[in-house]
Structure 1
Amino acid sequence: MVQAFLGEWPKGLHQLRQSFADWLADDVRYENVGLTSTTTLVEARELIETFAPGLDNIGVDMLAIAEDGERVFTERVDYLRTADGTVLGTIRLMGIFVVRGGRIVEWREYFHMAPPAAAA
């Protein structure tokens, strides 16, 4: 389910917005730890609009994913992109999603804003 949610993000802003409606609970608690926190689907959707001027989609490189009961842990590199593919920002992060009743009810992201190191 988390992979399906994240899998919609690269398809464009409409699909990114729709993925929130399709997968997040109305009372989802979404936090970018140390920066922002929301407590409803409406707030979460509004927050995504503030990530970067010109944002059209978010590319996701899934480095690792694990499940422990209702918790899903992800290690990712997210690429904030314009419609023409220009990268506005790159975020390395760990995400924790809590899934209940077919919806994401909690979502926390822990990240570092530095670009990923080049492979040696």
Structure 2
Amino acid sequence: MKISDSAQPRNEAEQVVVNFLDGWGPGAWPHMRECYDKWMTDDVSWENTGSPPTKGKEAAKEFLTALHDTLDMEYCTAELHNLASRGDIVLTERTDRVHLADGSVAIEIPIMGTFEVRDGKIARYADYNADSPIKERFPRHARGDY
């Protein structure tokens, strides 16, 4: 994962978030599901702009699988531009890249993310981004075919 100088982790909560983002890929599906299983609490709350929120690790992994299916997503990578935290709350400014099975990038998404870390795992994960480019690029996702 590419991490800018201003985004180097400085505490345990930030390191957990960096490890989670770095664990996305590259790797063959279901690599990302395994990463979510490893780094999320059982009661995690996950929210993405334009998508239904999930509650619980199993629901998060089910939605991740839906993203795999509707976006043809094999894995993602993140480029971390900025990182800030106060206590167990970590904020990220990053560019996420959705990769297809051949490794090519299907779409790049600029994102602001909020993470809450509890006991070395992610308890809340919320991403904020303009979802219109995603819906334009992936019509099945736009229709809610998940």
TM bucket normalised to smaller: 0.7 to 0.9
- Equivalent residue number for residue 95 of structure 1: 113
User: How much does 1:55 deviate?
Assistant: 1.2
Structure 2 residue ranges without an equivalent (≥5) = 1-15, 135-146
Contact 2:46 2:53 (8 Å CA) reproduced: yes
Residue aligning to 2:45: 29
Per-residue CA distance 1:51-106 (angstroms, 9 max, x = gap): 24421110111111111101010011111011212222221110000001111111
TM-score of the two chains, using structure 2 as the length reference: 0.73
Matches of 1:20 and 1:97, distance apart in 2: 13
Q: CA RMSD in A?
A: 1.6
Moved more, 92-101 or 14-23: 14-23
Question: Residue 24 of structure 1 aligns to which amino acid in structure 2?
Answer: M
How many residues align structurally?
A: 115
Greater share of strand: 1
Higher fraction of helix: 2
Deviates more, 1:7-16 or 1:58-67: 7-16
Q: Which residue of 2 aligns with 1:4?
A: 19
- Worse-superposed segment, 73-82 or 33-42: 33-42
* Corresponding residue of 1:46: 62
Which stretch shifts more, 85-94 or 22-31?
A: 85-94
Name the structure 1 match of 2:13.
none
1:82 alignment partner AA: L
Post-superposition offset of 1:34: 4.0
Deviations 1:11-62 (A, max 9, x none): 2223311111111001101001342200010111111122244211101111
TM-score, scaled to structure 1: 0.87
The structure, 1 or 2, with the larger RCO (C-alpha pairs under 8 Å, 6+ apart) is: 2
C-alpha distance in structure 2 between counterparts of 1:103 and 1:50, whole Å = 23
